[in-house]
Amino acid sequence: MRGVVLHAPGDIRVEDRPDPTIEAPTDAVIRLAATCVCGSDLWPYRGIEDVNGPAPMGHEYVGVVEEVGSDVRKVKPGQFVVGSFFASDNTCEICRAGYQSRCVHAELVGALGTQAQYARIPLADGTLVATPDLPADDLVPSLLAASDVLGTGWFAAVAADVRPGTTVAVVGDGAVGLLGVLAAQQLGAERIIAMSRHEPRQQLAREFGATDIVTERGDEGVAKIKDLTNGLGAHSVIEAVGTQESMMQAIRATRPGGHVGYVGVSHDVSLPGDELFFSGVHLHGGPAPVRRFLPELIDLICTRQIDPGKVFDLTLPLEQAAEGYRAMDERRAIKTLLRP
Ligand SMILES: [Zn+2]
């Protein structure tokens, strides 16, 4: 099969890779209908994360089940399925509490590389959720979004305790931040402030439910959020970047007693204890347990109540993956969908 491999920072190649096979009786092999490039794929692409030799890339996926192992009971060949970037058994205590991304048997799907024609998915019964029918082609991008960016934005909104009638601020205008806006709108937020300085992203944020746009960053951005909230700060703040600046911006934009939902993969963030102590905010986040939300998200998508697939503003054949990475790296594209 063909698959995407990162050889060194900036060096993305599409190569022949071995066809995946059933290795454990709990595995499934799927044929990808679509896959995509994640903001987190840009960390190694930019050399901010180490690249140790050629690495298969990709952890977002939807597709049709080709084959299942002998212990797989729920997932059947021919089904269209959506899964998350952590495989999980969905039966252990941590999974049952809704934290499948920290399952005691969690396996990182990214290590297997779903930017490819086929992928082996471990723990298929716990990981994969089938759609009610084979979805219409125009639903595929939205279902793919559910695999990570929508599920992550949704978790961020839940972790930030978004409720009906509240004010939410969103730090980060990548796909996750934009879909955090959509999630906040679905969860009933009254006011949603998107922090973005990029016009096309502001536009999409408004389509997803943002009521206000703040272009300032850092302390100026915080001051603007305070201005818009009677000096108090937002009830809920979604942090979808993962840098020191974005994290402090999120904490400082939250009112005492409010909640920060942080889902930007943390890079060299260290929090000042004294400031955190006196802020009085709740902090919750981490790798999103996307599996928890998949049944609900698939339903919202298949009944056409939400259209998160709008975050894909570039679609390319898998063979042109390198251009897909470049476009995102240069912020010419919000998110690249790859068609195997
Ligand atoms: Zn588990």
Series of mean pLDDT values for 10-residue runs along the chain (340 residues): 97 97 98 96 90 92 98 98 97 98 96 96 98 97 98 98 98 97 98 96 98 96 98 98 96 98 94 96 98 98 98 98 97 95
Distance 61 CA to ligand 1 centre (A): 20
Q: How far, in Å, CA of 127 to CA of 35, rounded? A: 17
Distance 158 CA to ligand 1 centre (A): 20
Distance 301 CA to ligand 1 centre (A): 26
Q: How far, in Å, CA of 298 to CA of 270, rounded? A: 36
Distance 88 CA to ligand 1 centre (A): 5
Please tell me the predicted confidence (pLDDT) of residue 86: 97
What sections of 174-317 are H helices per DSSP? 175-186, 199-208, 218-228, 244-252, 273-279, 290-302
- Do 175 and 335 meet the contact criterion of CB atoms below 8 Å apart? yes
Distance 99 CA to ligand 1 centre (A): 8
| Entry pTM | 0.96
Distance 126 CA to ligand 1 centre (A): 8
Q: How far, in Å, CA of 63 to CA of 180, rounded? A: 24
Distance 59 CA to ligand 1 centre (A): 19
Environment class of residue 129 by beta-carbon count within 10 Å: exposed (0-12), middle (13-18) or buried (19+)? buried
Please tell me the predicted confidence (pLDDT) of residue 52: 83
Distance 104 CA to ligand 1 centre (A): 5
What sections of 76-174 are H helices per DSSP? 93-96, 124-127, 140-147, 149-159
* Helix H or strand E encompassing 260: strand 254-262
Spell out which residues have Cβ within 5 A of ligand 1, the ion: 88-89, 92, 95, 103
Distance 131 CA to ligand 1 centre (A): 22
Strand order across the 167-171 sheet: 212-214, 191-195, 167-171, 234-239, 254-262, 282-285
